[in-house]
Amino acid sequence: MSTITTKYRNCHLCEAMCGLEIKIQDQEVISIRGDKEDPFSRGHICPKALGLKDIYEDPNRLKQPIKKTADGWKEISWEAAFDEVAERLKAVQAKHGVESVGVYQGNPSVHNLGTTLFSPNFVRALGTKNRFSATSVDQLPHHLAGMYMFGHPSLLPIPDIDHTDYWVIMGGNPLVSNGSIMTAPDVAKRMKAIRERGGKVVTIDPRYTETSAKVDQHIFIKPGTDVWLLIAMIREVFAKNWVDLKHLESCIEVEDIAQLKALVDPYTIEMASAKTGINEDIIRTLTKEFSKAKSGVFYGRLGISVVEFGGLSHWLLNCLNIITGNMDVPGGMMFPTPAFDAIGNKPKGKIRFNRWTTRVRKLPEFGGELPSVTLAEEILTPGEGQIKAMVTSCGNPVLSVPNGNKIDEAFEQLEFMVSIDIYLNETTRHADIILPPATGLEVPHYDIAFNQLAIRNTTKFSAPIFEKSATAKYDYEIFTELTKRLQANNLPEDKEQRQRIEQSYQLTPEILIDGGLRKGGYDLTLETLMEHPHGIDLGPLKTRFPERLHTLDRTIHLIPEIFVKDLERLAKASNPTNNTIDQLLLIGRRHLRSNNSWMHNSQRLVKGRDRCTLLMHPKDALERTIANGDQVKVKSKVGEVAIAVEISEEIMEGVVSIPHGWGHHRKGIKMDIAQAHPGVSVNDLTDDTFIDELSGNAAVNGVPVEVEMLA
């Protein structure tokens, strides 16, 4: 019998960076367990980690380029695929202009090292401004607040939950997500530790979540009304003279504090109670307890991002943590010091927002990307700049972007489409060519993005567990080959510039990671990390301001003009969730065994009872004579779906919930297990015109819907 060997690496499927102990024999995974010697995850893993074995062994996973022909999909060589993709993209741009090619990059892009490091050169080589990603259907408001307040879109404050005494979780479910804009494996034990040291944990959410079941207090809130609660709490802090800036006094203008006080003055607790449905006394008590806690952190996530006032909410969230002395201090919101620092400490002061807009709706660019809610209309609307060809990478916008049926329709109109993906799924079925990279256990990995969001400073390099096949290509090789072909015959005449570009074709992820580590402040190299397969603990988060600030004057810009102006919209707004008597408000939900739309082809992760159900409160069900398990029709402004009802008091009255990422019923996909558990897509109901007008981010929480028995 052959020897069983043990390998160590990080799981890359979500943000948590859990360390894995993987036993292999004869090129087969025997077991996947949590690595108890990993200094960050300490042996914790979730069920998704076992899905790495399933992806590696999945017979549906593509391993060779395929091309759509009159006789169906056919395998072609890599050289033929690269040549045709480059030629056809160039041809479309020559005929219709540079902007006629669009790019969509999905959430897994930042979970894949080669894509993270090498796709930017490819996108720059295309030269198009029609760039879209999952960011604007998720966390864009976080980045907008970070850029305007702290000087960089990736300077996002992270809850120091290992040292806090009072943790408020608003619109997040970290027990299931393992964090999210807060890389934190084993949240359950960390929450328990807060309570054991005499602290308190509170959740604020329209649903009594898995996290809510483990905390001291849960507060129900109407979807989309978070902004009213936050602004009223800030007003109460000023009214009670609880403001305490601590060391940030030197980083904030006195006039800004006075202006903030004046701006929030009209927004009373009474108003917040009417808007949110939260009792006035609960709001007052919450504000007092948070303000008076020895240390506290008010954390907001997806639930307050994907709403009409997502941008304002994240600005106010930062302001609340700042004025209560809970920013950049232990136990509050802090800023990691990653070993590979993609941000650096040299401020540039650049505002990369609204430099151009979408062609049809004139929505703003952010960080070089346009809002994904405009993707379909930019393809379907004729005229100069119309998108005629698409590149999708690591993304499934048909299932993950609002009004997915409209995107489905739009992709059918394209002259050419190429997808870089390992599956023939709901989006890639529209492609002319699919380029599948080696993936998962076959690739090296380093968590660039998530070490910048981690609750503790650690570092770890994951070598491949298995060699890729001789005919396979890494994602970085795919992007490099396409970039070379796009730049062919178009290199600069300057010899040094030309040489730098040609040398970039020889780079690998390992070379770039080693270079980044050497520039960091820990005296590390890739070789050092290779000698520490469990990772290296670099210590707790530390106070970083003012040195870490990227504003040119090294101060916190507490009152950016764009947020002040958006307060005018808030002042004019009626209740953002004002719905008719027959309408309910739709929200999403997450499950520990799901990962957006791309882990449903693993039998171990989809087995068991149906998870794609409509969660409904008993009173709302009774009013509609609906019983548990009934099939109902859910109808919104843009579409309708048929789904089974799950009646539960964990959802508040007037709200219903459908999980994100399902809808594998469309024809032409090749994902056998997912097709056997199709579910419905919540994004066949979400509205691409329902947005946060400030940022352009999608508003997928609080969508008005009607529910009735299926005839």
Asked if pLDDT for residue 498 goes beyond 90, the answer is no
Asked if pLDDT for residue 492 goes beyond 90, the answer is no
Which secondary-structure segment (H or E) carries 480? helix 475-487
pLDDT value, residue 577:
46
**pLDDT-derived band of residue 1, with 50, 70 and 90 as boundaries?**
low
Residue 149 backbone dihedrals phi, psi, to 5 degrees: -90, -40
Query: For residue range 209-260, what is the model confidence (pLDDT) as tens digits?
Result: 999 999 999 999 999 999 999 999 999 999 999 999 999 999 999 999 999 9
Running DSSP on this structure, what letter comes out for residue 569? H
Mean pLDDT, all residues of the chain: 95
pLDDT value, residue 344:
87
Query: For residue range 125-170, what is the model confidence (pLDDT) as tens digits?
Result: 999 999 999 999 999 999 999 999 999 999 999 999 999 999 999 9
Whole-number Å distance between alpha carbons of 460 and 451: 10
**pLDDT-derived band of residue 496, with 50, 70 and 90 as boundaries?**
confident
Query: For residue range 586-633, what is the model confidence (pLDDT) as tens digits?
Result: 999 989 888 888 889 999 999 999 999 999 999 999 999 999 999 999
**pLDDT-derived band of residue 576, with 50, 70 and 90 as boundaries?**
very low
Give me the domains of the chain, ranges plus CATH numbers: 66-136+353-440+474-495 (3.40.50.740), 140-340+546-570 (3.40.228.10), 579-709 (2.40.40.20)
pLDDT value, residue 80:
98
Instruction: Please say whether the beta carbons of 167 and 194 come within 8 A.
Output: yes
Half-sphere exposure of 464 (CA within 13 A, CB side): 18
pLDDT value, residue 348:
82
Intra-chain end-to-end CA distance of the chain, in Å? 60
What's the whole-number mean pLDDT along residues 179-194?
A: 94
pLDDT value, residue 171:
96
Asked if pLDDT for residue 309 goes beyond 70, the answer is yes
Asked if pLDDT for residue 575 goes beyond 80, the answer is no
Asked if pLDDT for residue 574 goes beyond 70, the answer is no
Whole-number Å distance between alpha carbons of 82 and 485: 8
What's the whole-number mean pLDDT along residues 194-213?
A: 97
**pLDDT-derived band of residue 578, with 50, 70 and 90 as boundaries?**
very low
Per residue in 274-303, is it b (16+ CB within 10 Å) or e — as a string? ebbbbeeeebbebbeebbebebbbbbbbbb
Q: Find where tokens 């043990």 sit.
A: 6
Strand, helix or coil at 290?
Answer: helix
Instruction: Please say whether the beta carbons of 367 and 697 come within 8 A.
Output: no
Helix axes 226-239, 269-276, angle to 10 degrees: 160
Whole-number Å distance between alpha carbons of 123 and 194: 44
Running DSSP on this structure, what letter comes out for residue 442? G
pLDDT value, residue 489:
81
pLDDT value, residue 597:
84
Q: Find where tokens 């997502």 sit.
A: 310
* Residue 622 neighbours by CB distance under 10 Å: 12
